[in-house]
Amino acid sequence: MDNNNVWRKDFPILDQKVNDEDLVYLDNAATTQKPKDVMSKVANFYYSDYANVHRGVHTLAERSTEQFEAAREKVRKFINANSDKEVIFTKGATNSLNLVAQSYGEENIHEGDEIVISYMEHHSNLIPWQQLALRKKATLKYIELTDDGQLDMDDAQRKITDKTKIVSIAQSSNVLGVINPVKELAQIAHSHDAVMVVDGAQSVPNMPVDVTDLDCDFFAFSGHKMMAETGIGVLYGKQELLEQMPPVEFGGEMIEFVKKFDSSWNELPWKFEAGTPNIAGAISLGYAIDYLESVGLDNIQKNTQAIVDHVLPKLLDIDDLEVYGPKDPANHTGVISFNLKGLHPHDLATGLDMEGVAVRAGHHCAQPLMEYLGLSATARASFYLYNTISDADRLVEAIKATKEFFKNGTV
C-alpha cells in the first residue's frame, strides 16, 4: 500500500535532497511535518485577523477570539470530551502533565500514598511524578514489562493497590512501539479510587482517541506531533476534577476579581490559562485537526500498519541488528527502535543521514527504560501518513549500507 503520495504532496519540506539523496523523514515521533494547508491558514490569520483574545471588543479581537475558541471546540470533538470546559490549552504534553502533578497531585498526594507509572514512560510522564513523590514522601512504583516490551498487566494488578492515588501511563510508547490498554488500566485504577492520567502524545496523531470511552481522568497531548505548531498542547480533565483543582499560574485572564489582598478565579477552562495564550498555535491545532479528519485516522493507521508489516520483517532479517519491542508487526506501531551491533546509535543515525534518511538517536527522553533494557541509547525510525513503503525500503538499504561502510573500516 504505497498510495499515500496523495498526502505526501501536501508537505513541501519532503521535496528536497539531503546529502545529495532524496529526503526520507522518519523522525515523526519527535515532531511531524506541517501540511501547506495548515501553514497557509495560520499565515492568513496573521495577515488578516490577529489580535489578542477575549478582552477586546473591536473587530479583530472578536475574529481572533472566535477562531481561538473554535479550535477548542474542534479539540473537544476530536477527543470526544463532554464539554469545552474540559479542554485546557497548554504549551504541550509536558506542560499538561506538570499541571496535573502540581495542581491535582499537590492537593491529593500525602505521605505514604503511592503513584504508579511504567518503565516505558517518557521523562515528561515520569519526572513530574518522581518529584511529587519526593516532595510528599509518597512512593513511586513502576509496572514491569514483558519480554517483548509490552506492559505486564499481571504486574499492574499487583502494583495498583488501595494506597494508589494516581496511575499515569502513556497510551503509546515513543520507544517500544506498543499501545497500552489504558482503558483497562483506568478500570483497575478506579476500582482502587485512584485517578487515571494518560500521556497521549504518541497516540492522538495516529489513532482515534475517545477520552469518554477510555474513562481516563486526565489526558495530555501536544500539537507539534500532529502537524500543528510547536508550543501548543492540550490537557483534558474531567470537569468535576478540574473544578476542584487550584490554578498553578497566576496573572491575566485566569482571574474573576482581583482585590488588594485577595483574588478569585475565572471559570473553566480559562482558570488554567494565565496570560496571553499561544493564539496562533491553538488555531493551527484546529486546522491540523481539520486536516487529520479529512485524511481519516483510520487511513493513517492502515498506511502505517502496511509499512510496518512490510519493513519489520526486513529489519529483523538484518544480521547484527537488534530491534526492540514486539516482533509481530500486528502488535507494533510505526515507532521502531533498533541498534546495530558494534556501532553507537549516533554513528548509525549519522550514517543513515548520509543516505538521506532522517532518524533519531539517543535515549529518547526515556532513560529509566534504557537502564531497564540494559542500553544507553537506540536509533529510532518513526513513520507517519506521508511515509511510503519506498521510504521503508530506503531505511533498510541505508542500514545495510551503513553497516558495510563501518565494517570495511572506511571511516
Which residues are annotated as catalytic? 365
Beta bridge partners of 197: 168, 218
Angle between helices 127-136 and 93-100 (to 10 degrees): 20
Q: List Cα–Cα distances, 204 to 201, 330, 387, in angstroms.
A: 6, 19, 18
Region of residue 17 (left: phi > 0; alpha: psi -120 to 50; beta: else): beta
The terminus-to-terminus CA distance of the chain in angstroms comes to: 37
Contact 217, 237 (CB under 8 A): yes
Look up residue 28 and give its amino acid.
Answer: N
Q: What 8-state DSSP symbol labels residue 168?
A: E
Contacts of residue 328, defined as CB under 8 A and 6 or more positions apart, other chains included, come to none
Task: List beta partners, residue 257.
Answer: 264
Neighbouring CB atoms inside 10 A of 67's CB total: 20
Can you tell me the distance from the alpha carbon of 102 to that of 248, in angstroms, rounded to the nearest whole number? 7
CB atoms within 10 A of CB 331: 15
Q: For residue 179, give the DSSP letter.
A: B
Cell numbers for 113: 500514598
Q: Which three cell numbers stand for residue 148?
A: 517483548
Alpha carbon distance 24, 14 (integer Å): 7
109: buried, middle or exposed (CB in 10 Å: 19+, 13-18, 0-12)? buried
- DSSP letter, residue 148: T
Question: Three-state SS string across 325-393, please?
Answer: CCCCHHHCCCEEEEEECCCCHHHHHHHHHHCCEECEEECCCCHHHHHHHCCCCEEEEECCCCCCHHHHH
State how far the alpha carbon of 280 is from the alpha carbons of 67, 221, 230, 268, 360, in Å: 9, 17, 10, 21, 28
